[in-house]
Chain A
Amino acid sequence: MHKIAAVNDFVIKFANINGTGSASANNMFAKSIFRSGVPVTPKNIFPSNIQGLPTWYEVRVSEKGYLGRRGGVDFMVATNGQTMMQDFQEVLPGGYFLYDNSKPLAPKYKRDDIHLIGIPLTDICIQEYTDPRQRQLFKNIIYVGALSYLLNIEFEVFAELVQDQFKGKEKLITPNIHALELGYRYAKEYYAETCQLKIERRDLNQGKILVDGNTGTALGAIYAGATVAGWYPITPSTSVVDAFEKYCKRLRVDPANGMNNFAIVQAEDELAAMGMVLGASWNGARAFTATSGPGVSLMAEFLGLAYFAEIPGVLVDVQRTGPSTGMPTRTQQSDIMAAAYASHGDTKHVCLYPANPKECFDMSFNAFELTEYLQTPVIILSDLDLGMNDNMCDAFEWNDEIDYNRGKVLSTDELENLKERWGRYLDVDGEGIGYRTIPGTHPTKGSYFTRGSSHDEYAAYTESSEAYVRSMQRLEKKWDTAKTLVPKPNIRIENKQSKVGAIFFGTSTDAAHEAIDLMQQQNVSVNGLQIKAFPFTAEVEAFIAQHDTIFVIEQNRDGQMKTLLVNELQLDPARLTSVLNYDGMPITATYIVEQIEATINQNKVTPLQQADRG
C-alpha cells in the first residue's frame, strides 16, 4: 500500500475536544519542530466554546519555509469521538491515522488506503494514573511522545520543552517526561517501521521566533510608549490586551514604588473603549484599544469624531468571520471597507495590514507615530489567523536610537513665544496638519474647544459653508500627506516583462508568495505586491499601471480590497480580478493557483512563458 513519505514537508492535524488540555500538548509539538530548526506553521481551528466542542490543531511542516496553510492532511491524530469519522475521511491516501485503540475501531472505519496507528491512550492512562484529570491531561502528552518516535523528532527536544514549560513547577517535569516516554516506547514497540514522515534536524530558524500576532501588536504598543488601553473583551482581540497587561506588569511597574506606569481599563462596551482612547490621546498619552468587527461597528461614531476633530488614537481590529456575530473563532479579512470608511459623513481612516507577528510589532509602533503625526485615528487590521495562532517570523527588532515623534504639539515655551495668533486647525506647514496643544500646558495660551461640530481654523463653532469646505479640503490635504508617510508595499518582480500581477495583504501574503513560486515552476510569471497600508501609496498605483491583468487575493466574499483600490485609484473594475477565500479557514496557495490559472485559461491571457529565463 502506498505510504506518504516526506522529510520536513507534511501536514499533521490533531483532532481534540475543547478544554481537555490538548492545546499545551499540541503547542509543545509545534515548538519541537521549530526547535529542530525546521519551519513550522501551527493553526488552531477552535470553536466558540469553552469546553466540550471539537477543536483541531493543524501543523504544517515546510523545509522550504512556506508558512501559509497547505490544506490536506498527511497524518491525523484523532482523539475526538464526535468528529472521528470526518477526521478519518480527511486523511490523504497513503496517510496515517493515529487513534486510541483502547477500544477497537468500529467496522464503519473502513479505508484501505491509509495506515492505522492504534495507541491505547486510555488504557495506558488508566494503568498509570488514578486522578481522572491526570488521566485526561496525560493522554495528550502520551500521543506527543508517540509522535516523537514516529516522526523521528529528537526526544531531548521534548525534554527541554517540558523543562522550560514547567519552570517554577518542577514537580510536574518528571511526570510529563514519563508520559512522553510511555508514548514513545509504545510506538517504538508496535509501529517501528510504520511512518514515513520524518523530521530531520536543520538550521533554518536562525533569527526566527514563533509567536502569535497579538503578542507582537501588544509589544509594539509597549515599545511605542502606549500608556492607556481601554478595551472590551471580544474574540479574537482579547489576547492583545492580555499580552499588553502581562508585559506591562513585567516591564512597566516602577521598581521604586511598585506603581504602574500604565492604565488598562476594561470598558463597559466598545464605544466606551474608543472614547477612553480618544480622551487619553487628546490629553497627550499614547492610547489604544483592540477589538474585532462588531466592535468596529460600534466605534464608528467615535472614529468620525476623531477624524473630524483630529484626535489621535490607535485601534487594533483583529478581524474574524462576519457579518454580524458570524463565526467568531474563524478568520477573515472582511473589515477592510468598514475600517477604511468607518462613520457617517466623508470619513476615511489610515489602515495598516500586518502579515506576520514581526509586522504586527513594527506596525503597532508605526501606528502610534502616524496617529500622533497625522492627528487622525490609525487602524491596524490583523485577523484571527495572525492574531491568535503562533506564526513563525523574524525576531522583533528595536533601535534604541529612535526617539518617539509626538507630532505637531506646542510646548509651554513654544506657546509662550508665539509670534502670531495660534489656531488649532491652521495649516502652518502646508501638510494639512495643525499644531495641537495638550491641556494644562500654558496658563493663558493654547486652550481651545475640541468638537465634532463644524469649526474654523481657530476651533470656533461655525456654520459658515466656506469655513466648513476649507476644513474638509485641508483634511483631504492631510490625506495626501498620509500617502507619503504610511509603509510602502513589498513588491516582488518575478519577471519585468510579465503583464500579470497579484496584489495581496495581511495573512494572504504567505500563501500568495507560495502560489507565485508554484506558478513560476510551471513557467508562469506573476509579479506580486503586498499592500501594507491605506491610503495607497504611489507604488501601488504604479504596479497596477504596469500590469495588464491584476489579481487581488483576499479573504472575504465581496472583494473589499478590490473595491477600495477601484474607488481610491479610479480604476476600471474589469482590470482587477478577485481571488476570494471566505470560508473562515486561512487561504491556501493551491487554491490561489487554481483560481488564477482558471482565469488565465478562461480569458486566454497569455502570461509570459519562461522558456528563455535565466
Chain B
Amino acid sequence: MSFIRPNIRHPQLAVNDLGYTRANYEGALSTLCAGCGHDSISAAILQSCFELSIEPHKVAKMSGIGCSSKTPAYFLGNSHGFNSVHGRMPSVATGANLANRDLVYIGVSGDGDTASIGMGQFAHVVRRNLNMVYIVMNNGCYGLTKGQDSATADRGSASKKGIPNPYSSIDLCETAIQLGAGFVARSFSGDKEQLIPLIKAAVSHRGFALIDVVSPCVTFNNTANSTKSYDHVREHMNATGTFDFVPLKEEITTEYEPGQTEEITLHDGSAVRLHKATESLDFSSRRSAMNEIEKHKEKGEVLTGLLYLNPQTPDTHELLGTTTTPLNQLDKDKLCPGSKTLDAINDSFR
C-alpha cells in the first residue's frame, strides 16, 4: 500500500489547547495491508493524544517487532520512537522511563511480541507497574511471517490455513490483572467510540495500563472460522458498559442513575465515568473482573471495555523512591561525589 498523502489541510481544522491540529500528531504513511485493524488503532492513539493536548515531543513510542510494532512510525511523527527487538519492548521502556519519568510512554506490541517471545518481559513490566500505556494489537496470528497462529489464538479458531488451533490461548487481560496491573481494558479496533476514551484514560492513569485491542488481520486471520475476524468480534462483542474520560478541567454536569454509573478519579485529577451495562462487574475488584471475563468466554463472547481499575497503585519510581527530577536531567554537581569524598573512600580500603 503506497500513495502520497496530500500536503494540503483544511484551513479550519480543529486545534487543541496547545494550538496543534491533528496534523501535528500524524506520522509516516502506513505500509500495512489495506483494512488492517492496526491502522485504526494508530488513528485512535493519534486522536487521543490530540484531544488530550499532549505535546508530541513529550511522548516516547516504544515497540518490539512485528506488524504492530511498525505502527509507531505511522503516528506521532514529532515524537521519538524506539523499535527495539522482538519481545523486549518492556525492558527498553523500563530503562527509558527510569531515565525520564516526565514523558508519556506509549508501548505498542502484538500478540506474538507480547504473549510468546515477550511473555516474560510483559509479566515483569506489569509487576514493576511501570508508568506506561501498553497497547497490544491483538490479531491472533503472526502477520509478517504469513499467518502462523499466535499464543492468543483461541483454541479451535482457524486462520487462512484452515487448521484449527489445538492449543490453549493466553488471555493477556487476565494475566495482567493477576500480575497486579492497575488499569486493564480490552477493546476492538473497529470500535473507535470505545477505544479513544480508553486510551485517554490509560494515558492519564499513573502506573501500568494495558489495553488489549482485538485487531483483525485482514490478510491471514479474517476467515469464517476465526474468532478474531471482523465479523466474529462484531457479533460476539459485549461491552462492560459505555465509558467516558473526563479531563481535569471539565466540570461534571450530567447526572446518572446511581448504581449503574461509577466515577473513578485518576491520579492526575481526571476521571473515568462508567455507565455499566452489568451490575455484577465491580471495576475495583480483580476477582470480579476475572469472573466477568470468564463468564463471557463461556458464552463465546468477547468482553470489551474497562475491566479493572485501581488508580492507587504505586508505580516503579514510587517503588524505587526515585527523585522527581528526571534522572537524565541531573548534572555532574548532583551526581559526582568529588575528590574529597573519594579520599575518604580510599581510606576505608586501608
Query: Which residues of A line the B interface, CB within 8 A?
Result: 34-35, 205, 208-211, 215, 219, 222-225, 227-228, 230, 247, 251-252, 254, 257-265, 267-269, 271-285, 287, 301-302, 305, 395-400, 403-404, 437-444, 447-453, 460-461
Contact = CB atoms under 8 A, between A and B. Distances in A.
A398 B342 contact: yes
A35 B350 contact: yes
A395 B346 CA distance: 6
Contacts of A461: 73
Contacts of A271: 88, 91, 121
Counting contact residues on chain B (CB < 8 A from A), the size range is 35 or more
A439 B60 contact: yes
B83 A450 contact: yes
Interface stretch (B95-103, B220-228, B263-271): B95-103
A222 B334 CA distance: 11
Nearest to A222: B337
A261 B99 CA distance: 11
Interface of B: 28, 55-58, 60, 62, 72-73, 77-85, 88, 90-100, 102-103, 120-121, 123-124, 128, 316-317, 320-324, 327-328, 330, 332, 334-339, 341-343, 345-346, 349-350
B95 A277 contact: yes
B98 A265 contact: yes
Given A257-B323, A439-B57, A443-B78, A404 B94 contact: no
B186 to A, nearest CB: 25
Nearest to A392: B349
A263 B55 contact: no
Contacts of A228: 95, 98-99, 327
Contacts of A268: 120-121, 123-124
A146 B348 CA distance: 26
Contacts of B78: 443-444, 447
Interface-centre pick from B79, B316, B317, B322 (highest chain A CB count, 10 A): B322
A205 B350 CA distance: 9
Shortest 6 CB-CB contacts between residues of A and residues of B:
A279-B95, A275-B91, A285-B99, A276-B95, A284-B328, A280-B95
A301 B64 CA distance: 13
Contacts of B316: 265
B96 A280 contact: yes
Contacts of B83: 449-453
Contacts of B322: 259-260, 262-263
Nearest to B335: A225
17 contacts: A227-B335, A259-B322, A263-B322, A265-B128, A272-B94, A276-B91, A279-B92, A279-B96, A280-B96, A282-B95, A287-B95, A397-B342, A403-B332, A439-B57, A447-B56, A447-B79, A447-B80
A449 B72 contact: yes
Given A275-B121, A441-B57, A451-B83, A398 B338 contact: yes
B32 to A, nearest CB: 13
Contacts of A262: 322, 327
Interface-centre pick from B60, B73, B103, B336 (highest chain A CB count, 10 A): B336
A437 B56 CA distance: 15
B321 A225 contact: no
B80 A452 contact: no
Contact of A211 (B328, B342, B343, B349): B349
Contacts of A277: 95
A260 B100 CA distance: 14
A215 B98 CA distance: 23
Contact of A225 (B58, B62, B98, B332): B332
B332 A443 contact: no
A261 B321 CA distance: 9
Given A274-B91, A275-B88, A279-B98, 10 more contacts: A223-B336, A272-B120, A284-B99, A284-B100, A285-B327, A396-B346, A398-B339, A438-B328, A440-B103, A447-B57
B55 A443 contact: yes
A263 B327 contact: yes
A399 to B, nearest CB: 7
A284 B56 CA distance: 18
Contacts of B95: 228, 230, 275-283, 287
Contacts of B72: 449
Contact of B121 (A261, A272, A281): A272
B339 A439 contact: no
B80 A450 contact: yes
B314 to A, nearest CB: 14
Contacts of A219: 342, 345
A279 B350 contact: no
Contact of A283 (B77, B96, B320): B96
Contact of B124 (A267, A278, A449): A267
Given A260-B322, A442-B57, A279 B128 contact: no
